């Protein structure tokens, strides 16, 4: 059901007596599905969040699973902690999550909570950062907004508003793009531009 909607399972974990299923964008292919949606085309605000809520709620209704979203709150669901606990994502050298298949282009769209502990595969994957020799994410940010300790949001946004920030704005964050796993993720430049422009609002 997730695949048909343009999503895929990005990780699963036990939370108490329940199982949490994390849903991320399915790449390649997500963007072409999303841009055909009513939410993308109606000109209203937050089209991706609204699309995510509709699609994931529909899947939840079919499975009798409770949906949750990163924007729920406060208090907000612990999506970062869930992703790490699932064994499919890790904290990168610049503190941005890196996913086993999506790299730093990870887009957590929501989660489904299923009653009971489903059978989960053993956690055997290791962070791709452990075998990444060059670690380009640490050096490619043109304004050094990512230091590994803090994220200078203001410096990043100011850069995106300048002509010299056009590459980051139109192609997506350079630090994220240079991650070797991100390079294989299938994320389209126009999709990244959509996220960067939303980041500036």
Domain total in the chain = 1
> In which domain, by residue range, is 181 found?
2-119+126-200
Torsions phi, psi for 14 (to 5 deg): -90, 135
Task: Tell me the pLDDT of the chain (201 aa) as tens digits.
Answer: 999 999 999 999 999 999 999 999 999 999 999 999 999 999 999 999 999 999 999 999 999 999 999 999 999 999 999 999 999 999 999 999 999 999 999 999 999 999 999 999 998 999 999 999 999 999 999 999 998 778 999 999 999 999 999 999 999 999 999 999 999 999 999 999 999 999 998
Using CB atoms within 10 Å of the CB of residue 138, give its burial: 0 to 12 exposed, 13 to 18 middle, 19+ buried. middle
Q: What is the pLDDT of residue 169?
A: 96
Q: What is the pLDDT of residue 150?
A: 85
Q: What is the pLDDT of residue 148?
A: 73
How far apart CA 163 and CA 72 sit, in angstroms, is 35
Q: Are 159 and 168 in contact (CB under 8 A)?
A: yes
Total-model pTM: 0.94
Structure tokens at 55: 């699609």
Cβ atoms < 10 Å from Cβ of 121:
8
- SS3 track for the chain: CHHHHCEEEEEEEEECCEEEEEEEECCCCHHHHHCCCHHHHCCCCCHHHHHHHHHHHHHHHHHCCEEECCCCCCCCCCHHHHHHHCCCEEECCCCCEEECCCECCCCEEEEEEEECCCCCCCCCCCCHHHHCCCCHHHCCCCCCCECCCCECHHHHHHHHCCHHHHHHHHHCCHHHHCCCCHHHCCCCHHHHHHHHHHHHC
């Amino acid at each position: 059901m997730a695949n048909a909607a343009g999503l895929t399972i990005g990780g699963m974990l036990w939370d108490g007596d329940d199982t949490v299923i994390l849903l991320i964008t399915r790449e390649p292919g997500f963007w072409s599905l999303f841009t055909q949606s009513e939410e993308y085309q109606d000109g209203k605000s937050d089209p991706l969040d609204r699309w995510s809520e509709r699609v994931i709620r529909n899947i939840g209704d079919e499975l009798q699973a409770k949906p949750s979203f990163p924007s729920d709150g406060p208090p907000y669901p612990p999506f970062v902690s869930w992703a790490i606990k699932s064994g499919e994502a890790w904290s990168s050298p610049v503190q941005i999550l890196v996913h086993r298949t999506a790299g730093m282009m990870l887009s957590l769209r929501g989660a489904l909570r299923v009653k009971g502990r489903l059978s989960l595969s053993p956690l055997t994957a290791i962070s791709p950062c452990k075998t990444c020799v060059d670690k380009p994410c640490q050096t490619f940010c043109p304004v050094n907004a990512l230091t590994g300790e803090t994220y200078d949001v203001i410096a990043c946004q100011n850069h995106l508003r300048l002509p010299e920030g056009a590459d980051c704005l139109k192609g997506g964050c350079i630090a994220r793009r240079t991650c070797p796993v991100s390079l294989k993720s299938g994320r389209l430049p126009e999709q990244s531009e959509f996220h960067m422009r939303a980041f500036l609002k």
